[in-house]
Chain A
């Protein structure tokens, strides 16, 4: 035998030394894991954010892709050793996540671009201090009304059109589990003489709708729009723009009572070992150039005042002036009421809909 035990031990010792020497280099090649939606968001990140992030930090980006609910539950289940460093979500989920102890704040100093963000789009107030910010509201999307221009008999202009007889059985409406369900509870309550604090009339009013499809994502009702089974739908503006590009018979309108404005956040996961890297990422998501590129490819709106957009893009996203046509509900109210309101939707409203 050529290899004696001593030789082997020496060899192993040498390997061990090499390993020790290599360790600092390995530690430098860190990875920031981004918990985000698949599709346009993931593609946009890979195209416009990842190269710049890796150039700035030398760290790598990894992705945990999924729906918001599934990703949120993952963070809940693995608090001790979180599976991601930054989390993409609605503003409401930032508040819920802070309360549940799975999301934390970022240093204001390390995210200087926050100073250029439209004040009204910074809807999450909890966690905002002189030193800290709740997260980065990197885009603005609007929940509005999409309709089939060939089928409607009169122009669609108002949320009240949802109750128009011609749309009974031809309406795709937000499911009780949709992120914007609480907005409709309040809107309907206001139409029926109630308010956010007196929502009973809202549930009664919603029960009078006659939707034939309950939707969470635009693909839920897209085939029905094509076949003519749906002629009116509640949907996000940037998905409706995508549908227009794909030749669906769809136009959309921001209702005269104002559309529903939804700032989307990226925030820091509590317990991350990469707080500084996470803050670099947040700052990058607020960068005017990054936002302009994102808006150009996804039609999701910019939040940075300095973002410069060509007119062809500006007219198709919730960018700049369009935000004036939007109403911003308090996400803290949504977070507090959602469990009860979802339950009331299921028990009091859905049974009378007989929708699918």
Chain B
């Protein structure tokens, strides 16, 4: 190993240690716990019975499927919306651009709980958006609160700033001469986007996809407050195991499954989009 690389690792060491201590240890403890028997299942641990149990019940498979579906829907809506916003942002000049970025990050600063409470007021059918439409007889009384649509709407809003900022950074890294070269060769706006901008921005699309999917799959506040007991996801299921039946072992197994599924999804996403990324 040469000196530069040694320095490289030395510089990484503090954050690696911190990660191992604060993330690795608790994670290992949790995974160890997920292999133990509990109030519901008796077996001699450590063994995979908790996982087998969760994966053999239609109800829990439905919860897992719902978690993945919500995350995928959120990602598929947030990426095009975020892409358009990032392109608009790129066209804004200095001060307007700064203001727009500040506006974008505001929901992150406000925190997800505040924002979700806002959605609870807005999505109620007597709320300021839908209330007047219902009153006027234009639409039937919708039930967004407690529905999957309500959860997706709030999740999209929650992950959108992350998508926009990631895509914006990616778009800015494309060298302007690329566009000029394409234009000089006679490419129209659509063709320039299709053959230059989009392919070159794919790495940031992949990053944004991973970020939005992971944030949506692991979010708790939106499915908890806007979904409810009939719309459990893996995160709210974990909380139910811990809070209602004090079953930390089954909760740990559900959390372990969530982790595995997210890792799997990230790998699948990377494989799917990575194919189109030119080195």
B59, B145, B242: which contacts A73 (Cβ < 8 A)?
Answer: B242
A96 lies within 8 A of B240 (CB) = no
Q: In the bound complex, how far is the Cα of B57 from the Cα of A49, in angstroms?
A: 49
| Chain B contact residues: helix, strand, loop or mixed | loop
Interface string of B199-231 (1 = CB under 8 A from A): 000000000000000000000000000011111
Question: Are A72 and B246 touching (Cβ within 8 A)?
Answer: yes
Instruction: Tell yes or no: B247 within 8 A of A by CB.
Output: yes
Question: Which residues of A lie under 8 Å from residue B229 when comparing CB positions?
Answer: 175-177, 214, 216, 350, 355-356
Q: Does A342 contact B (CB under 8 A)?
A: yes
In chain A, what residue has the closest Cβ to B38? A339
List residues of chain B with CB within 8 A of the CB of A100. 246
| B240, chain A: closest CB distance, angstroms | 6
Q: Which A residues are CB-close (under 8 A) to B62? A: 351
A177 x B240 contact (CB < 8 A):
yes
1/0 per position for A48-76, CB-CB distance to B under 8 A? 00000000000000000001011011001
Task: Tally B residues with Cβ within 8 Å of A.
Answer: 25
Distance (whole angstroms) from the CB of B55 to the closest CB of chain A: 14
A 318-356 to B, binary, CB cutoff 8 A, 1 in contact else 0: 000000000000000000001110110011001101111
A339 touches B39 (CB 8 A): yes
| Min distance, Cβ B238 to any Cβ of chain A, angstroms | 12
When chains A and B are docked, how far (Å) is the Cα of A100 from the Cα of B39?
12
Number of chain A residues close to chain B: CB under 8 A: 32
* Bound: A220/B227 CA distance, A: 12
Are A73 and B228 in contact, with the CB atoms below 8 A? no
Which chain B residues (99-151) contact chain A, with CB distance < 8 Å?
A: 124-126, 143, 145-147
Main secondary structure of the interface of A (DSSP, over half): helix
A67 touching B243 by the CB < 8 A rule? yes
Q: B40 at interface (Cβ–Cβ under 8 A)?
A: yes
Chain A residues within 8 Å of B246, by CB: 69, 72-73, 76, 96, 100
Question: CA of A96 to CA of B246 in the docked complex: distance in angstroms?
Answer: 10
Between A70, A76, A342, A343, the greatest number of chain B beta carbons within 10 A of the residue's beta carbon is seen for A343
B231 with A339: CB separation less than 8 A: no
Determine if A227 is an interface residue (Cβ-Cβ < 8 Å).
yes
Indicate whether A69 sits within 8 Å of B244 (C-beta atoms), given known contacts A339-B39, A356-B146.
Answer: yes
Q: With A and B bound together, what is the CA distance between A70 and B239 in angstroms? A: 10
Are B242 and A340 closer than 8 Å at their CB atoms?
no
In whole angstroms, how far apart are the Cα atoms of A227 and B59 in the complex? 31
CB-based contact B57/A177 at 8 Å: no
Instruction: A73 to B57: give the CA distance in the assembly, Å.
Output: 27
What residues of B have a CB within 8 angstroms of the CB of A73 in the complex?
Answer: 242-243, 246
User: B191 at the A/B interface (Cβ < 8 Å)?
Assistant: no
Q: Is A210 an interface residue (CB 8 A)?
A: no
Bound-state Cα–Cα, A347 to B246, Å: 18
Q: Smallest distance from the beta carbon of A66 to chain B beta carbons, Å?
A: 10
Per-residue CB contact flags for chain B residues 231-269 toward chain A (1 = under 8 Å, else 0) read: 100000000101111110000000000000000000000
A179 to chain B, nearest CB (A): 9
Whether A177 pairs with B230 at a CB distance below 8 angstroms is no
A213 in contact (CB, < 8 A): yes
Contact A70 B40 (CB under 8 A): no
A339 touches B40 (CB 8 A): yes
B126 A227 Cβ-Cβ under 8 A: yes
B146 — which chain A residues lie within 8 A by C-beta?
213, 356
Within 8 Å by CB of B59, from A229, A338, A340, A347, lies A347
Task: Give the CA-CA distance A96 to B244 in the complex, in Å.
Answer: 12
A16 CB–B CB distance under 8 Å: no
B39 touches A223 (CB 8 A): no
Q: Are B125 and A69 in contact (CB under 8 A)?
A: no
State how many angstroms separate the Cβ of A184 from the closest Cβ of chain B. 14
Name the B residues within 8 Å of A347 (CB-CB): 57-59
Whether the pair B230, A339 counts as a contact (CB closer than 8 A) is no
Cross-interface CB contact of A355 among B124, B125, B145, B230, cutoff 8 Å? B230
CB distance from A87 to the nearest CB of B (A): 14
Q: Are B40 and A340 in contact (CB under 8 A)?
A: yes
Q: Is the CB of A214 within 8 A of B230?
A: yes
Name the B residues within 8 Å of A96 (CB-CB): 246
A326 to chain B, nearest CB (A): 24
Evaluate contact between A351 and B242: CB separation under 8 angstroms.
Answer: no
Whole-angstrom distance between the Cβ of B29 and the nearest chain A Cβ: 12
Residue of B nearest to A220 (CB): B228
Which residues on the B side are within 8 Å of A67 (C-beta)? Answer: 243
Chain A: CB-nearest residue to B247 = A339
Decide if A356 touches B230 in the complex (CB within 8 Å). Answer: yes
Chain B residues with CB under 8 Å of chain A are: 39-40, 57-59, 62, 124-126, 143, 145-147, 227-231, 240, 242-247
11 more contacts with CB within 8 A, not counting A69-B243, A96-B246, A356-B231, are A69-B246, A72-B246, A73-B246, A100-B246, A176-B244, A177-B229, A213-B228, A342-B245, A346-B59, A351-B62, A356-B145
> Would you mind naming 18 contact pairs between A and B with Cβ atoms under 8 Å apart?
A96-B246, A177-B229, A220-B228, A227-B124, A227-B126, A229-B143, A339-B39, A339-B40, A339-B245, A339-B247, A342-B245, A346-B59, A351-B59, A351-B62, A355-B230, A356-B145, A356-B147, A356-B227
Q: Which residues of A contact B (CB under 8 A)?
A: 67, 69-70, 72-73, 76, 96, 100, 175-177, 213-214, 216, 220, 223, 226-227, 229, 338-340, 342-343, 346-347, 350-351, 353-356
Closest 9 CB pairs between A and B?
A356-B146, A69-B243, A177-B244, A214-B229, A339-B39, A175-B229, A355-B230, A339-B245, A356-B230
